[in-house]
Amino acid sequence: MAGILILHTGGTIGMRLGAHGLQPDPEFCATLQVHLKQVLTPQQPVSIKTLAPIDSANLQPAHWQNMAHALLENWDDYTGIVILHGTDTLAWSASALSFMLQGADKPVIFTGAQIPLARSGSDAPANLRLALHAAAQPQLRETCIAFGGSLLRGNRARKTSAQNFAAFTSSNYPTLGAVSDDGIPAFHVERFLPAGQKSFSIPHFRPRAVALLPLYPGVSGDSVRALLANPELRAIVLQSYGSGNVPDSDTDFIDSLHTAHARGILLANSTQCPHGRVTQGAYATSHVLDQLGVIPLADMTPEAAHAKLHFLLASTDNRPQIVADLQRSLAGEVSPFVSPSTPPLPQPV
Ligand code: ASP
């Protein structure tokens, strides 16, 4: 067991200009080989494997299974893994892999780029350098994102910039590492996940089982009923306001949640705020959710919540187990839950 596996799945890093815009470059792996030899010169041997590269806007939950299978086929042959992925849905994939690879004994590092590797001025070399460094850290045993000079826990990160090199932010968990001005990465080992029991599972995802519903002024019961028209729907993650609030004075909207609940749809609550947590019941406008049995997701990102629900629903039909697992950390994706009586007042930084 030695060396790093790079698994290419697509994204801007490996794109070139086509007739209608950027698209996957079929020659990318050859370009990457040359780059690794001439520019990056990694300390460890590197092997490259590829799945059919996509623009990650086309990602489906089934792609998570393909990625996980490709990793597990080669798991014991490498000390660390780097996955090249489009940035658009990278946070979802990093979350999904973190749940499938619980108790991993080596690093799985997602990276990509805002500018293709083959173009001058690309951020890809710096991202690859950090990813390869992180993939060689023996104490790192989790799924991460190396991007824009930061190493982030994968299931805590969100894409927060469409163009900036620092495209990802982890607002509710500190960075696991960062590249200093002199280009040397430093890692915060004390923030890494502790070693855990290896428990890998690649369930068969049902692509339409989970929906996200962002709230906005004017949202109505029709939005919920439109989701319920999908017969395969099993769960809805509300992206609520602030501390977990919903328009409780809109009786049609609340009725539609009751209808969903009565149909057996699992309802969960994550905040649409980039930072902070759901404290359901702190405001009267979220009290109704407690009555409905909506599961508050504390400081989990909507991406992690969506991927986690997919993972849990594909893994078991045991509803109490799903509800219990949703509310505890499986892979560092959520901070300990706090009592709803915690005041919702701003906390000093
Ligand atoms: N659309 C691209 C993708 O997600 C964007 C990127 O990679 O930065 O595949």
Number of domains in the chain: 2
Judgement on whether residues 133 and 25 belong to the same structural domain of the protein = yes
What pLDDT was estimated at residue 115? 98
Q: Name, in order, each residue with C-beta under 8 angstroms of 165's C-beta and a sequence gap of 6 or more.
A: 114, 123, 126, 148, 149
In this structure, how many other beta carbons lie within 10 angstroms of the beta carbon of residue 52?
Answer: 10
Judgement on whether residues 177 and 66 belong to the same structural domain of the protein = yes
Q: Is residue 344 part of a domain?
A: no
Q: Is residue 223 part of a domain?
A: yes
**% helix / strand / coil in the chain, to the nearest 5?**
35, 20, 45
Q: Is residue 179 part of a domain?
A: yes
CA of 116 to the centre of ligand 1 (A): 10
Token pair for residue 75? 């798991």
55 lines ligand 1 (CB under 6 A): yes
Residue 8 · residue 2 · CB < 8 Å:
no
Q: Is the dihedral of CA 262, 264, 265, 269 positive or negative?
A: positive
Q: Which atom of ligand 1 is nearest to the CA of 11?
A: 9
Judgement on whether residues 50 and 171 belong to the same structural domain of the protein = yes
Q: pLDDT below 70 — which residues of the chain?
A: 1, 337-349
Q: Is residue 216 part of a domain?
A: yes
56 lines ligand 1 (CB under 6 A): yes
Judgement on whether residues 243 and 151 belong to the same structural domain of the protein = no
Which of 158, 180, 200 represents a domain boundary (last residue)? Answer: 200
As a dihedral over the C-alpha atoms of residue 81, residue 84, residue 87, residue 93, rounded to 10 degrees, the angle is: -50
Q: Is residue 333 part of a domain?
A: no
Judgement on whether residues 11 and 125 belong to the same structural domain of the protein = yes
Q: Is residue 285 part of a domain?
A: yes
Judgement on whether residues 306 and 169 belong to the same structural domain of the protein = no
- Where in the sequence is the domain holding 69, given as residue range(s)? 4-200
Phi, psi of 156 (to 5 degrees): -110, -5
What pLDDT was estimated at residue 338? 60
Judgement on whether residues 71 and 174 belong to the same structural domain of the protein = yes
What pLDDT was estimated at residue 339? 56
Token pair for residue 285? 């406008």
Tens-place pLDDT, residues 136-157 = 999 999 999 999 999 999 999 9
93 lines ligand 1 (CB under 6 A): no
Residue 38, domain CATH: 3.40.50.1170
122 lines ligand 1 (CB under 6 A): no
Q: Is residue 8 part of a domain?
A: yes
b/e code 318-333 from CB counts within 10 Å (16+ = b): eeeebeebbeeebbbb
Judgement on whether residues 154 and 260 belong to the same structural domain of the protein = no
What pLDDT was estimated at residue 121? 97
Judgement on whether residues 188 and 85 belong to the same structural domain of the protein = yes
What pLDDT was estimated at residue 295? 97
Residue 230, domain CATH: 3.40.50.40
What pLDDT was estimated at residue 347? 57
| CA neighbor of 304 nearest in space, from 281, 336, 279, 326 | 326
Which residue is listed with tokens 């990056």?
Answer: 40
Q: Name, in order, each residue with C-beta under 8 angstroms of 156's C-beta and a sequence gap of 6 or more.
A: 170, 172, 173, 301, 304, 332, 333
What pLDDT was estimated at residue 346? 57
Catalytic residues: 12
CA distance 49 to 32: 11
Judgement on whether residues 147 and 235 belong to the same structural domain of the protein = no
Judgement on whether residues 102 and 186 belong to the same structural domain of the protein = yes
Q: Which of 54, 59, 67, 88 to mutate for ligand 1's pocket (most ligand atoms within 8 Å of CB)?
A: 88
Judgement on whether residues 98 and 245 belong to the same structural domain of the protein = no
Token pair for residue 170? 């982890």
| pTM: predicted TM-score of the whole model, two decimal places | 0.95
Residue 81 · residue 135 · CB < 8 Å:
yes
